[in-house]
Structure 1
């Protein structure tokens, strides 16, 4: 094995290991203490993640127009992967409402944000936030409409995550000043979110079962595969910068979001089947993510 290959493998290990370690700590702690993360998850969604989004989007260095093609690519990957999987549902004899959302909506928060930073450095956070915002907005509009057509998609405008994003974009768009103490305060709040997301992912994994493991295996394979099948040919149309194309490929290869299980439980859309898809999808990412990083890097 030559030196360059060894250095690449070391970089991939350095990227993946901290994520796996924090998730594992969360899993083991929850198994021993039977902890409940509902309050912490609510804090993360309502306070820490919005603070992170505002901190990144309101920065003077943030240029939304620089990421417009990347955002379009993210939208096409999310929607396109759902369209690809739609006919597969008939072959697998599974309800599309059960199978399509976990394939479409990936773990761009819990896993995508820290993964991008560890793989490409702090400069990748802005791009990762844009893709997270795209995926999250689509999840709470298109995703909820798939589960329940009576749901009003405009309720997404009341979410702290969306409000913080709009405020952050407004702040940077008008070049409004932000006093250093306040900026530091918001930045510190935001930095709580990423490790807490990973820890919560580990805790959540203790509460799902593998009753429907066969469907989970299909989901684990088709989630990153469908995303990459859409993302790879997009480069010829979008002409992204090489680094942004790398971000898009990494986004496309992410496993199903844990939120899919929570929403399936809320709408009683076969939550146990969705749980298997989410769990096995995130476990299989230990293979898919390093393989994708090897190709990208």
Structure 2
């Protein structure tokens, strides 16, 4: 079991580790590469998974609902913890709600459960991503224009992929292959960029960083364990939901905090330490489901 968990996680941390080393030595500017990933490669990955003729959204409705409850429930529990601990909810709640289901979640799903796990993993990513660009933005700025969410490429790709899948349109095979090849670029690039981002980050609030880094997977795992008991899901989707709960805070939380000037140094600490501590929490989640 230990060898299997190590073999699953090693490629993730190896690629992120290479990114970290390159980031330390060369300090590359990945701003354009990250923009291409978010604007082209990730949308291609999402569209390819949802527009696939074998994908039927109706079969994932229970998983979609469970993911919504996991995201919202994490936010509610985090709000309570923040009030008790005297932490600003606007600083603490988003990193607890929105986990790294893109950079880590998608590649981990494929490595742990095979290519057939990509579609349900994309459904979970879709829920979290849409909630982050709507409720997450509103939480940080009540005057944020939520209509701009429809200009986010990954959201557009989600809508387009669902429309094609529901309509039963079969896309020309060579075109789907091209879309899949573009999508395949996204996962290693996300992992590499995560390593570079960690190498550039600085820990400004160590105590809150450790507290948030531990609270995120603990809250997620508790909720996931409750949901897999309450919601009838296939074995693979139950496993994915548990792993989803153990994921660390998303790097996007730091970008949002910086954009809206909501204590970005504290959010950066939670994100950085959380992704480092994933070395401990992800093996625990995999041991629970494998």
- TM-score category by the smaller chain? over 0.9
Residue 224 of structure 1 is matched in structure 2 by: 217
The residue number in structure 2 matching 1:42 is 35
Return the alpha-carbon distance in structure 1 between the equivalents of residues 28 and 210 of structure 2. 28
Moved more, 190-199 or 84-93: 84-93
Match of 2:10 among 13, 17, 35: 17
**Is the Cα–Cα contact under 8 Å of residues 19 and 192 in structure 2 kept in the other structure?**
yes
Distance in 2, matches of 1:73 and 1:87, equals 21
Find 1:104's aligned residue among 81, 97, 104.
Answer: 97
**Equivalence for 1:203:** 196
User: Cα offset for 1:282?
Assistant: 0.5
1:205 partner SS: helix
Q: List structure 1 runs of 4+ shifted beyond 4 angstroms.
A: none
Structure 2: 5+ residue runs without aligned partners? none
Aligned to 1:276: 269
Paired residues, number: 290
Contact 2:23 2:200 in 1 (8 A): no
The answer for the alignment partner of 1:115 in structure 2 is: 108
- State whether residues 71 and 97 of structure 2, in contact with CA within 8 Å, keep that contact through their aligned partners in structure 1: yes
CA offset digits 1:15-49 (Å, max 9, x no partner): 11000000010011011111111101100010000
Check conservation: 1:257, 1:278, Cα contact below 8 A: yes
Deviates more, 1:120-129 or 1:241-250: 241-250
- Aligned residue number for residue 59 of structure 2: 66
Which of 239, 243, 249 pairs up with 1:250? 243
SS in 1 for 2:54: coil
> Are 2:228 and 2:241, in contact at CA under 8 Å, matched by a contact in 1?
no
How big is the shift at 1:109? 0.1
Q: Secondary structure at the match of 1:244?
A: helix
TM-score, normalized by length of structure 1? 0.96
Distance in 1 (CA, whole Å) between partners of 2:175 and 2:141 is: 40
In 2: Cα distance, 1:236 partner to 1:296 partner: 13
The RMSD of aligned alpha carbons is 1.0
Q: Gapped runs of 5+ residues in structure 1?
A: 1-7
Equivalence map 1:77-88=2 (5 Å):
77-88=70-81
Counterpart of 2:118 in 1: which secondary structure? helix
* 1:235 shift after superposition: 2.7
Return the offset for 1:237: 2.9
Structure 1 residue 97: Cα displacement = 0.5
Q: Do the aligned residues in 2 keep the contact of 1:208 with 1:272 (CA within 8 Å)?
A: no
